[in-house]
Structure 1
Amino acid sequence: MTHPVLADSPDAVRAYMSLTTGDDHTTAIVSFADAAHVTDDGRDHHGTSEIRKWLDRTSSEYSYTSTPLVARTNGESGRTTVTCRLQGTFPGSPVDLDYRFRLDSAHRISRLEIVVHDPERSLSAG
């Protein structure tokens, strides 16, 4: 079930946010373009093979829950930012993170950057 905050987000963003909180990484990976690029915790992951390994590692390394707080989409730029609160067994919990998505022309995720939420940037981002 999709969280109400994500109701107006693009399909690929909703799929990623709902599927990666479980163990359905196979389905989540189809949301990504073949040459997608993910940056998380200062590390880069290129292509669906590396992204699948990253998803498997992060889900097995820590237990956590993710609650979407707000989603902002700019249809002209193909960018969506989802701010979530993560709580779990990782250092620094709880933390608010921004998931910054960029979609390609096929509406798949071409770029995802996960960073600590910065309220100042959120106010100026569109």
Structure 2
Amino acid sequence: MLPDTITNYLTSHIARDIDAAMQWYAPNAEVTDDGKTYHGPDEIRSWLGNAASEYTYTAELTATRQLAPHTYLATHHLEGNFPGGSADLNFTFTLKNNLITTLTIT
């Protein structure tokens, strides 16, 4: 089972509600996606905005597990109009004080 921070973030992320998603990040958070790392709220907000507008897709949470005391994995199956049409993505979250400090998507 995922902590509420991650569940609420994923709900906002999938709904493409950038303002709601941003409230779950620590001020010094980092996101790594597609080999690029985004630092802090401005870069993460820009990344979220681009990710939300680039493709249309559906996402289904298919697996979750705790990897370490403050690190969690959430696997999603995506289907949409992006190259390949479907993908399984792993979202690895590290939390501190109920905020996301790192998110790595692979």
Alignment of 1:1-126 (within 5 A): 8-74=1-67, 77-104=69-96, 106-115=97-106
The two structures have a TM-score, normalised by structure 2, of 0.95
- CA-based RMSD of the aligned residues comes to 1.1
Question: Where do 5+ consecutive residues of structure 2 fail to align?
Answer: none
Q: Give the C-alpha shift of residue 81 in structure 1.
A: 0.1
Count of residue pairs brought into register by the alignment: 106
Map of 1:122 onto structure 2: none
Q: Give the C-alpha shift of residue 77 in structure 1.
A: 2.2
Question: Which protein is bigger by CA-based radius of gyration?
Answer: 1
Question: Where do 5+ consecutive residues of structure 1 fail to align?
Answer: 1-7, 116-126
Cα deviation code 1:43-96 (max 9, x no counterpart):
11000111111000011011111100011024x520110011011111122110
The two structures have a TM-score, normalised by structure 1, of 0.80
SS of 1:20's equivalent in the other structure is: helix
Distance 2:17 2:55 in 1: 16
Q: Percent identity?
A: 36
Distance 1:49 1:11 in 2: 24
| Moved beyond 3 Å, runs of 4+ | none
Distance 2:29 2:52 in 1: 19
More strand by share: 2
